[in-house]
């Protein structure tokens, strides 16, 4: 019996690689949109490959043709300006939804957004994610759409949080940027991918779900940095709370220096405001029922991540 087709964007990215394997394990024939066809061993199985990009409308039509579900996991986590975020995260999502509406009117869409979309005023990234949700909903309505909002995702292959582990092993006093009472929901990438694949197999119902590990109430910055230190083998680290002006100043300086050096920085004033936000926890009403149980708590997840970094020579 032929497998149902799950079309996937972002399959060569950090989360997308894991999502591709999880969709395959869930029983889907995975069809991926890629600018270049990667080697099958990148996923551990051989997907269908549709060459193209979010800007190429013809390739989007081919991607969704005959699909039962479209999982949109591609997105920009950093950009040169607000327009760059919106071009990918809002307009790209809208273009995909339009292709699905025209080419596969019976298919459903699972949009991988971000928990930051709850607070679109904090950053251009958060605003673009919220705009992407609205754009897709305008095209497809509620009946064919499920929105997933992951929190901070970490795990093997993640280059962005690598800096946290490097700092945990090298910086004499570890900074606490969000205040003693701030809460951050978190999830290992393998668990995020498994939960996304499970939701992709269900009928769409117009819901917006957050993802998390077994602690949706989240973690404090002291626990996050302490577990990062433990994962790299550092015992009893010292901490220093960072005042809000210092965090915003570092975000502004990093943004200016990155652009001056020709790089697109991940740390910007908007990202600093996200870090300072006191509540990235999940309420019970935001969680999807009956998802696969997380395999990793924070300690085990960080240990798994550090072990992978060391095997690859990243750390």
pLDDT number for residue 80: 87
pLDDT number for residue 42: 67
pLDDT number for residue 298: 97
How big is the CA angle at 190 (ends 186 and 192), to the nearest 5 degrees? Answer: 50
> What burial letters (b/e) apply to 277-288, b meaning 16+ CB within 10 Å?
beebbbeeebeb
pLDDT number for residue 259: 65
Report the alpha-carbon distance of residue 69 to residue 46 in Å, rounded: 19
Which domains does the chain possess? 5-155+185-216+280-295 (3.40.50.720)
pLDDT number for residue 261: 62
Helices (H) and strands (E) in the chain, counts: 11, 13
pLDDT number for residue 247: 81
**Which residues, at least 6 apart from 213, have a Cβ–Cβ distance to it below 8 Å?**
185, 186, 187, 188, 191, 294, 296, 297, 298, 301
pLDDT tens-digit readout, 221-233: 999 999 999 999 9
pLDDT number for residue 41: 61
pLDDT number for residue 222: 94
Contacts 24+ apart (CB under 8 A), 102-105: 102/61, 103/61, 103/64, 103/65, 104/64, 104/65, 104/66, 104/67, 104/70
Low-confidence stretches of the chain (pLDDT < 70) are 1, 37-42, 254-265
pLDDT number for residue 228: 96
pLDDT tens-digit readout, 89-131: 999 999 999 999 999 999 999 999 999 999 999 999 999 999 9
């Amino acid at each position: 019996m032929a497998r149902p087709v799950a079309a996937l964007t972002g399959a060569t990215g950090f989360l997308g690689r894991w999502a591709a394997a999880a969709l395959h394990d869930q029983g889907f024939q995975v069809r991926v949109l890629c600018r270049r066809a990667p080697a099958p061993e990148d996923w551990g199985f051989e997907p269908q490959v549709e060459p193209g990009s979010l800007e190429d409308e013809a390739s989007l039509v081919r991607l969704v043709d005959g699909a039962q579900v479209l999982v949109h996991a591609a997105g920009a986590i950093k950009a040169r300006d607000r327009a760059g975020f919106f071009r990918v995260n809002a307009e790209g999502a809208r273009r995909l939804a339009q292709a699905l509406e025209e080419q596969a009117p019976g298919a459903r869409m699972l949009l991988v957004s971000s928990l930051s979309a709850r607070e679109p005023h904090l950053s251009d990234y958060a605003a673009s994610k919220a705009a992407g949700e609205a754009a897709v909903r305008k095209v497809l309505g509620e009946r064919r759409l499920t929105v997933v909002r992951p929190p901070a995702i970490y795990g093997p292959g993640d280059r962005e949080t690598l800096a946290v582990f490097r700092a945990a092993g090298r910086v004499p006093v570890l900074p606490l940027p969000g205040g003693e009472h701030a809460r951050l929901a978190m999830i290992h990438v393998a668990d995020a991918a498994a939960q996304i694949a499970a939701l992709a197999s269900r009928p769409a119902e117009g819901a917006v779900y957050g993802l998390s590990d077994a602690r949706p109430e989240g973690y404090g910055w002291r626990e996050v940095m302490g577990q990062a230190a433990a994962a790299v083998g550092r015992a009893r680290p010292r901490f220093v709370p960072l005042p809000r002006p210092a965090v915003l100043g570092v975000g502004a300086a990093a943004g200016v220096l990155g652009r001056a050096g020709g790089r697109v920085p991940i740390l910007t004033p908007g990202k600093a405001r996200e870090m300072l936000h006191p509540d990235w926890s999940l309420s019970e009403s935001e969680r999807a029922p009956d998802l696969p149980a997380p395999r990793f708590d924070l300690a085990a997840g960080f240990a798994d991540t550090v072990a992978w970094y060391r095997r690859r020579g990243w750390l």
